[in-house]
Amino acid sequence: MATLIIFFLTWKVGFAQTEWEIADCPVYTEWSKKVAPGNIFTEYPRPQLEREEWLNLNGLWDYAIIPADMDKPAKWDGKILVPFCAESALSGVGREVGPENRLWYHRTFEIPGTWEGRNILNVQRDVETVAKLLSGALSEGAKVFNVISVDDTLIIDDRVCGFVINWSPVNTTNLHVDPLTIRAKYVIEATGHPLEVLNRFCQKKGKLLNTRDGDVQWEEPMDSSQGEKLCLENTKEVYPGVFVTGMAANAVYGSPRMGPVFGGMLMSGKKVAEQIIERLQQEGQ
């Protein structure tokens, strides 16, 4: 299985005092005076979930604050101490970015030679990461239906080839509004804990999944370490035309829930995409 690496932004190299110093601040504490580029959050952010191999990238980065309409900086303004925001004194910048500007970060680092050939995941901030992934998907033609619920699946010749959706407010208010039917060459069950697609499928069709008894197994209590590992193993086709990914994969196969482990779900999404691409190529599409 591929090794998953989380980069939380750190290094342990000495720097000249002239590269960074605390910005002007009206109030200093005994702890702020101990801050230095070489001792910024060197511990793993979640001690109980620490990976065997990881690289922490906190420390000094180049930075530039430029107008929002500029493509990229022509030069760097100086050094910023990550992970502190530019407005803070501990960042060494002490400047407000403002809505009309953009803050750029830059640095280089070396990947350890022992990681060659492995999947390397750079996880910084979950909100920004998800936003970037969603933006890329939209640029490639993905369509997003927000605030919807799955009413049913579309099955032809014992194969799921679509699903039926309706607006969630319609369901919660018990209004009668005809749903929408969406055809799909493959359906990815990624609704997480509720398993909206497969739960409704089993209600209508019975125990036909490739689980131990054909039914949804539902997830076990939280075990982040095992949950993340099994999430990747469980990412596969669970019924003709339906693949499971992320927390939905553990829910359908009865594996532990993962908790706030973003990396495993991201790698699960990558795996299911590769599986479907391979299937489509085999079908000549």
Task: Give the chain's domains with CATH numbers.
Answer: 17-124 (no CATH), 139-282 (3.50.50.60)
pLDDT at 123: 59
pLDDT at 6: 37
For the segment 158-181, the average pLDDT, to the nearest whole number, is 90
> How do residues 187-209 score in pLDDT, each as one tens digit?
999 999 999 999 999 999 999 99
Full-model pTM: 0.65
CA distances from 201 to 102, 207, 208 (A): 47, 9, 9
> How do residues 217-263 score in pLDDT, each as one tens digit?
999 998 877 888 899 999 999 999 999 999 999 999 999 988 756 77
To the nearest whole percent, how much of the chain has pLDDT over 90? Answer: 46
Tell me which residue has tokens 């990550």: 82
What residue ranges in the chain does DSSP mark as E strands?
Answer: 59-67, 78-82, 101-106, 148-156, 159-167, 180-183, 187-189, 236-239, 242-244
φ, ψ for residue 249, nearest 5 deg: -65, -40
Question: Above 70 in pLDDT, residue 20?
Answer: yes
To the nearest whole percent, how much of the chain has pLDDT over 70? Answer: 89
79 touches 31 (CB < 8 A): no
Instruction: Quickly list H helices, the chain.
Output: 126-139, 168-172, 196-205, 224-233, 247-253, 262-282
Residue 224 burial by Cβ neighbours in a 10 Å radius (0-12, 13-18, 19+): middle
φ, ψ for residue 136, nearest 5 deg: -65, -40
More confident residue, 42 or 179: 179
For the segment 87-109, the average pLDDT, to the nearest whole number, is 90
Residue 66 burial by Cβ neighbours in a 10 Å radius (0-12, 13-18, 19+): middle
How sure is the predictor about 10, in pLDDT bands with cuts at 50, 70 and 90?
very low
